Amino acid sequence: MGNVVAAGIYSVRQFKLKQSYRLKFERLIEKSKEAISQSNQSIDIAMPIKVKSSPIAEDVILNILQQLEVFEMQNGFLKPNLTIQSLAKEFDSNGKYLSKIVNDYKCKTFIQYINDLRIDYAVTQIQENKILQRYTLQALAAEFGYNSADSFSAAFYKKTGIKASFFIKQLQIKP
What are the extents of the domains in the chain?
A: 23-175
In this prediction, residues 137-149 reach a mean pLDDT of 97
Long-range contacts at 42-46 (CB < 8 A, ≥ 24 apart)? 43/69, 43/73, 45/69, 45/70
Q: What pLDDT is attached to residue 36?
A: 56
Is the pLDDT higher at 89 or at 38? 89
In this prediction, residues 53-75 reach a mean pLDDT of 92
Cα 77 to Cα 141: distance, rounded to the nearest angstrom: 13
Q: What amino acid occupies position 64?
A: I
Q: Is 160:118 a contact under the CB 8 Å cutoff?
A: no
In this prediction, residues 40-50 reach a mean pLDDT of 45
In this prediction, residues 130-144 reach a mean pLDDT of 96
* Cβ neighbours, 10 Å, residue 144: 25
Q: What amino acid occupies position 154?
A: A
Residue 56: is its pLDDT beyond 60? yes
User: Over pLDDT 90: what percentage of the chain?
Assistant: 64
Selecting from 1.10.1660.10, 1.10.10.10, 1.20.1630.10, 1.10.10.60, what CATH number does the domain 23-175 have? 1.10.10.60
Cα 153 to Cα 164: distance, rounded to the nearest angstrom: 6
Q: Is 145:118 a contact under the CB 8 Å cutoff?
A: yes
